Amino acid sequence: DLAIEVAAGSMVARISKSRGLLQGLALNGLELLAQPLEPNFWRPITDNDYGANLQKDLSCWKDAGRDARLLKELDVVPGPRAVVISAELAVGSGGAKLSVAYSISAAGVTVTAKWQPATEEGERLAIAGGVAYLKSHSGGHIDIEGKAVRARWNDMGEWQSITVNVANKQP
């Protein structure tokens, strides 16, 4: 796969021109990656997931990162201390996007990403009846009941599930 290669000190980073992924990272000539870094939207299945049939209902997310498509050519911006390479990826078939930026310097590679859900006439869409997983920055859990949002259930794993409904659309 053709790549944009950036050398910074003793490190060389390679970003795939066709996929927009970090496909290689070498330090002092030693390759550190066994395969390209792909976005991951899947987590291990839990017993509760099996009970709610989520392993089937949400299976489209299992390979969503692997199947993400580059929407346009990579944007390369050289700077005084780092080179920033940006990629915009289409995720799934609903119009969602993931913007990924690689800041490459002699200190390392910093990867940042921004999720952009699908939109309809400027409004953000959620899949009616779909499931969202939330976790607070403190590690506590978030419970949403109507308009009330509060943290609770600190003894029940890392994730809680809520049902997402789009305004003015029935599940």
pLDDT band at residue 122 under the 50/70/90 scheme: low
The overall average pLDDT reported for the chain is 76
Determine the residue type at 62: K
Q: Does residue 96 have a pLDDT over 60?
A: yes
Per-residue confidence (pLDDT) for residue 73, from 0 to 100 = 96
Per-residue confidence (pLDDT) for residue 57, from 0 to 100 = 80
pTM over 0.75: no
Q: From 89, 94, 34, select the one nearest 66 (Cα to Cα).
A: 89
Q: Is the Cα torsion angle 155, 158, 163, 165 positive or negative in sign?
A: positive
Q: What share of the chain is helix, strand, coil (3-state, %, to 5)?
A: 10, 45, 45
CA gap 160, 142 in Å, rounded: 7
SS3 track for 47-84? HHHHHHCHHHHCHHHCCCCCCCEECCCCEEEECCCCEE
Question: What is the chain's length?
Answer: 171
Q: Does residue 119 have a pLDDT over 50?
A: yes
Q: Does residue 99 have a pLDDT over 50?
A: yes
pLDDT tens column, 33-60: 999 988 888 888 888 878 777 788 878 7
Report which of residues 120 and 89 the model is more confident about: 89
Taking residues 102-128, report their average pLDDT: 76
Taking residues 140-158, report their average pLDDT: 47
Give the residues across from 160 on adjacent strands: 134
Q: Does residue 153 have a pLDDT over 70?
A: no
Q: Are 103 and 84 in contact (CB under 8 A)?
A: yes
